[in-house]
Chain A
């Protein structure tokens, strides 16, 4: 259809953000061109463009970073429907976040009308035009301030909804978004939300990364330069609703389509499964490409060479021109084009990209194997291994929970062989983004009926690298600071400054901070060092450390409350560490001598009724100290109570 006759203001535009600003898929794909990563042997971006095209949207603006623009252009040109799209590319070097992209759009003045905004990782089949129409009529009739309709997918799957972990409160009648929170566990809702109107409080919604925006959205981002992500935007608008005079609405997809976003490995697994189970129809392998479908969701490409005894299990996609040896078992797996699989190979729940070679007797489970990798005989790759492109795994290798690169770019990787370097996440201390990178969910789903209810315990617990919460992060930072401080003899004032800045960074309250600092201080020794030390030397060393950190302690332990935190921290650590347990009374005494712990607080701690066996034994141990303290009280008036 020619667009020349259509009036300019009537053209519906779509903006596709093809840069993800995260490294969740690294090393299988980097952040810039992750939208070209194959999902069921087709680049993610193709799904997104296909969805736009089938919704009848022709004008598409693709934002990509300048480094990847050529690759994205080339890939889009290969997409089947690209000819029918009018794609405009825009790029910028300065964009570091989603918010920057919208500010860039605002600066370029590319947006002429209400537009559909989506990421290059949206897979699905969603009629967008009715949504846009509804949004427009909403703006014209009832709410002029409506700036955005957010599209959510309803999901009853406990695995996915707990992964998304967001609580959204919607007005029951209009679908207006009243509250949005991404916290885990308990959340508190403002009471006024539910006082006057009927609301739906929902935790079963997952993001689709499709939003319908009015022209007011890019200027809003430009005005509020602290909006980095969509969540920031939503939060900012909800807090400043009156000031910005903007409202948000939600549309929940249930039954009228399907949309899913691929932002990390668990969602990659989920969306891959949904594509194979045909929720995205007609965006399924055999419609968009040349596959044939057999029962059990087995998709078979052209020109395959399958050995007679090769067994393809359920939910499997095999790309064209691949070869399979005899007695090879493959299930729940996507295999790219031009792959060569040897004899007696087992591949389960994995994703092999194009051109992979797997030699005889290897086993691959719950892993991602990048393009053109070679896996030699008898290797075992399992439990969320991510292999970048071009990796060569030597024979008889056992790999678990690793990210493997073909070359050592950062010098932080451990060399396994000539073309395999293991990237160690823990050692990467200077990576500037502390984003949680999650691996594949690799424990088998439990098939019991009550798995739905106990989802938190066993269904989702197996994410490879679980999200470290803020407190843990804070704790590890403090440990880092203290170790460095002790070794380099950093002045304690500077250490305090450092700890305080971490405290603000992770939003830790005072008492929590006290607790964590003490914990950190008592656990500075590594396991290996501990084993080498005996009780006496351990205490000597601990004492010297405590003496060194005296100014730090003084700074944090000032009040009665903080003394209490300090003691409970000591108790907490002693519970886990045998050596400290033996000297706990000494430590408390020492801290008392150093005027850190007040007498009252120790007495109070001692008197506190505790149920656990451990707490009782500790208090028994401290009996002598307490007696001594009580005696000392009678003799001298204590003056160490320096509560402020």
Chain B
């Protein structure tokens, strides 16, 4: 639980940012949970009467966090999602008070409607309650997202198939375990150097009686011709359907494309990010961590070489066959549509205040 007793919002933000910077929460799932908890607390304690006041205050906090942590895409996703929830609840409440209409929005309706632009300036009674209800749903969605994804495992993994995965991802682990309940198949796991998380996954799967083989990253291409499917996890999905994922995945995706092996990406909805790849430089996309692991500090060459240890790889959308989210399968070209469903266009840029 987040320790919120008697601390100001600034302190909370400060602690939250420092925890993220220090990687106290390794897992994206934990980061998502903590972020929802934090913003729940904010919604509860901020003094607001009109919806726009609440939105502006949250956007300000959100801007603070995202500018302090430009590389944590998840945080921005969650914040935008929460803002969208508030907007939705506001609109729904207003519309239901004005006239009883179908809340369900269809593509046709969105395209054709010349809706009056809502300024969120009105006071909506009971809004807080409905927001909290919606947030509860959202939290449950996050919690159960891995389960929801793994439920679709049987549609994708068939008997005696050979699956290749990269490193360790909780989604992939659960997905494979779920499929193993009914089918037998073989898994190749690349080590994913330098962190070598692949070893842990191999251990976990073999405990679960799944036939798994750990291979060095370099042998991946040789094995690819025998592989039926590549299933990987992801750090976040970019707005164009590209992936920001563990280092080494791009090579795997290219090898898969060479042998026409389908690449399936397991991505819960909260990993959908509204950002595009603008440069390979760290400022926008990648994160370089300590060279430790690539090279030991005790090596005598340390002072003579520049060592890079990037965390992520960018995989372009054309190398991805299918996304499996908790809502089902989507092709990369459909990501833009999902984005417009879960985020409000006004929230893409958190820095600008709405009037």
CA distance A279 to B297 in the complex (A): 8
Selected interface stretch from B120-128, B175-183, B288-296: B288-296
Q: Is the CB of B282 within 8 A of A258?
A: no
Chain B proximity mask over A513-535: 1 for CB below 8 Å, otherwise 0: 00000000000000000000000
A122, chain B: closest CB distance, angstroms: 15
Contact of A258 among B14, B297, B309 (CB under 8 A): B297
CA distance A2 to B21 in the complex (A): 21
B194, chain A: closest CB distance, angstroms: 11
Please indicate the chain A residues that have their CB under 8 angstroms from the CB of B303 in the complex. Answer: 157, 159-160, 270, 273, 445
Contact of B292 among A80, A255, A445 (CB under 8 A): A255
CA distance A297 to B305 in the complex (A): 12
A452, chain B: closest CB distance, angstroms: 5
Q: Is the CB of B290 within 8 A of A279?
A: yes
> Nearest chain-A residue to B67 (Cβ)?
A290
Binding site for B on A (CB under 8 A): 1-2, 53-54, 80-81, 83-84, 125, 153-160, 204, 253-255, 257-258, 270, 273, 277-282, 286-287, 292-297, 314-315, 445, 447, 452
Q: B306 near A: Cβ within 8 Å?
A: yes
Interface size on B, residues (CB 8 A): 31
Please indicate the chain B residues that have their CB under 8 angstroms from the CB of A445 in the complex. Answer: 303-304
Q: B298 near A: Cβ within 8 Å?
A: yes
Please indicate the chain A residues that have their CB under 8 angstroms from the CB of B306 in the complex. Answer: 277, 296-297, 314-315
CA distance A281 to B5 in the complex (A): 31
CA distance A254 to B295 in the complex (A): 11
Q: Is the CB of A280 within 8 A of B281?
A: no
Q: Is the CB of A158 within 8 A of B300?
A: yes
Please indicate the chain A residues that have their CB under 8 angstroms from the CB of B289 in the complex. Answer: 278, 281-282
Q: Is the CB of B290 within 8 A of A125?
A: yes
- List CB contacts (< 8 Å) of B296-355 with chain A: 296-304, 306-309
CA distance A157 to B299 in the complex (A): 7
Q: Is the CB of B298 within 8 A of A155?
A: yes
Q: Is the CB of A293 within 8 A of B300?
A: no
CA distance A159 to B301 in the complex (A): 11
Q: Given A292-B281, A297-B306, A84 and B297 touching (CB < 8 A)? A: no
Supply 19 further A-B pairs (C-beta < 8 A) apart from A258-B290, A286-B282, A286-B283.
A2-B3, A2-B5, A53-B18, A54-B22, A154-B298, A155-B298, A156-B301, A159-B303, A254-B296, A255-B296, A258-B292, A270-B303, A277-B307, A278-B291, A282-B23, A282-B289, A292-B281, A293-B283, A295-B281
A497, chain B: closest CB distance, angstroms: 49
- List CB contacts (< 8 Å) of B262-294 with chain A: 281-283, 288-293
Q: Is the CB of B14 within 8 A of A83?
A: yes
Q: Is the CB of B281 within 8 A of A254?
A: no
CB-based A-B contact count at 8 angstroms: 92
Contact of A282 among B22, B292, B301, B302 (CB under 8 A): B22
Q: B11 near A: Cβ within 8 Å?
A: yes
Please indicate the chain A residues that have their CB under 8 angstroms from the CB of B291 in the complex. Answer: 277-279
Please indicate the chain B residues that have their CB under 8 angstroms from the CB of A154 in the complex. Answer: 297-298
CA distance A293 to B21 in the complex (A): 16
Q: B225 near A: Cβ within 8 Å?
A: no
CA distance A54 to B308 in the complex (A): 23
CA distance A157 to B298 in the complex (A): 7
Q: B27 near A: Cβ within 8 Å?
A: no
Please indicate the chain B residues that have their CB under 8 angstroms from the CB of A314 in the complex. Answer: 306
Q: B170 near A: Cβ within 8 Å?
A: no
CA distance A296 to B308 in the complex (A): 9
Q: Is the CB of B298 within 8 A of A204?
A: yes
Q: List 8 A-B contacts (CB under 8 A).
A: A54-B22, A255-B297, A278-B291, A279-B291, A286-B282, A287-B21, A292-B281, A292-B283
